[in-house]
A and B are shown apart, each in its own frame.
Chain A
Amino acid sequence: MTTDESDAGWFASVPPDDLAAARDAIDGGSAESPADWPRLAVESGFADDSDNYYDRLREATLHATREAVAERERADDRQLIHAVRAVDDCERVANELAERAVEWAGSRFDGVDSGIAGAREIAEREADDDLDRRVISLASRAAALADERDALAATIDRVAPAVAPNLADMAGPELAARLIALAGGLESLAKKPSGTVQVLGAEDALFAHLSGRAPSPKHGIIYTHEFVRGTRPEDRGSAARALAGKLALAARADHYSGEYREVLHEDLRERMATIRARADANGDETGGDDE
């Protein structure tokens, strides 16, 4: 095969009639630009002529897509919870190890940057002696853990829309996974009232409030959502309440029907537009929140 790996057709390294290999190639492959694949497939001997190529393509896409659909539909909330917890563990440990490696490396090399970026640079170095080797090896493990964290996050991006299409679209895949993990599953999230969804992840603040030591928390982890964080502080309570209400409905739609409900998303966008319009309407007034 003369074509460059990254811009090769799906059939480049697939033996004819090997449906498993075809599935991997169609699912995982990519190319920046398309090409005249039918002609290239005939030239490379993958198919006898373009009709034969299309027959093979039909078989391959039917198989690949059937398997991919089955896999996406099999994905469940338990897997998502494991994945999101693993993301957090990898991130924490990667940072700890990177910090240790960088601190150690600073005593041996000049110009060492901090954090994961610093660990990546150290990992590239040549060792002069045994201690160098240990420092460099430690740094490369921190970098590898950071890579694993990114790979896990990419997996969550793929799996979350299959597990919870509405929640993932509304909250983004990572926040959706975190909400499911905090609630202990999609079913228990679906059974929570929206006020609970609003403060998931703010348990410390909530219990401080319940024992009379603090004001009620306005938001938990949904703070990371652009609708909350991107709204001016005096309207954030309203924004958090509106978002939590729709997230609760999205979780219910995902758990009980599993179908995407466009109207939920439209309602939320409409509500957010109204809340944000307040900032334009009375931008020069102060306070005036409905909390």
Chain B
Amino acid sequence: MSDSLPAGVERRAIDGGTRLATRGPPVYGEPTDGEWRAWDPERSKLGGMFELGFDTGLSGGETVLYLGAASGTTASHVADFAGPTYAVEFAPRPTRDLLDVAEARDRLFPLLKDARKPETYAHVVESGVDAIVQDVATRGQAAVATRNARFLEDDGRLLLAVKARSEDVTAEPDDVFTDVLAELEETYEVLETERLDRFHEDHLGVVATPK
């Protein structure tokens, strides 16, 4: 299973258990072992996807566009093992924390932008990124992924966590996921899906590549 982890992400004995970890300055008081710091799959959808053995296609050093970076918890781990990482977040308050995370890293570029409007950051974010990581809690998650496909390399990967309750609280999560995947498949080929419920209730992890 650890074959699917990119270089720079390892399972290490930290804090009395085997934990996912990356190397970088600590961010949120996570347990550390030397320069390694634990990556909590319960606080990070992408961490959950790695923990569940998703084949993310990442090998380390990639250029990444991160949509919905929030306070930078997950974005910090991504920037630790990836190459240039563009972090888009729309709300000012969490972006203030994201700035501190970016300040401590060389290749994490914070942007206060709305992921639903990629034209407002296409003059900053480069074309042909290797991966888009998406974790936005708004309705229209498939539309966000579709609109941002313009940034992705032809053989790049979309790593998406779909939150059912953001789309429709009254619908069954499975129905929501079916709808989101159908919309996604107009632009992407879906490679793998699995529920993240062990770490995140009513979330679906998706790996996809442009059609």
- List chain A positions with a Cβ less than 8 A from chain B: 7-10, 25-26, 29-38, 54-55, 57-58, 61-62, 64-66, 68-69, 72-73, 161-162, 165, 258-260, 262, 266, 269-270, 273
Contacts and interface: CB of A to CB of B under 8 A. Distances in A.
Interface in B114-168: 119-120, 122-128, 137, 150-151, 165-166, 168
B99 A30 contact: no
Given A266-B169, A269-B168, A269-B169, A34 B150 contact: yes
Nearest to B65: A34
Contact of A33 (B120, B127, B137, B170): B127
A29 B108 CA distance: 20
Interface of B: 84, 90-93, 95-96, 98-99, 102-103, 106-112, 119-120, 122-128, 137, 150-151, 165-166, 168-170
B169 A270 contact: yes
Contacts of B151: 34
Contacts of B170: 269-270, 273
B99 A69 contact: yes
A139 B165 CA distance: 50
B92 A34 contact: no
A266 B128 CA distance: 36
A55 B108 CA distance: 10
A259 B96 CA distance: 13
A33 B102 CA distance: 25
B50 to A, nearest CB: 25
Nearest to B165: A266
Nearest to A274: B170
Contacts of A162: 92
Nearest to B92: A72
Contacts of A37: 123-127
Nearest to B124: A10
Contacts of A266: 165, 169
A58 B122 contact: no
A73 B92 contact: yes
B96 A69 contact: yes
A7 B123 CA distance: 7
A57 B112 CA distance: 14
Given A69-B95, A270-B170, A31 B122 contact: yes
Contacts of B109: 57-58, 61
A68 B137 CA distance: 22
A38 B126 contact: yes
Nearest to A270: B169
B110 A34 contact: no
Contact of B126 (A34, A55, A66, A165): A34
Given A36-B126, A69-B92, 4 more contacts: A30-B120, A34-B127, A62-B110, A259-B93
Q: Which 8 A-B pairs give the minimum distances between C-beta atoms?
A: A31-B123, A34-B127, A72-B92, A31-B122, A61-B109, A273-B170, A34-B122, A266-B169
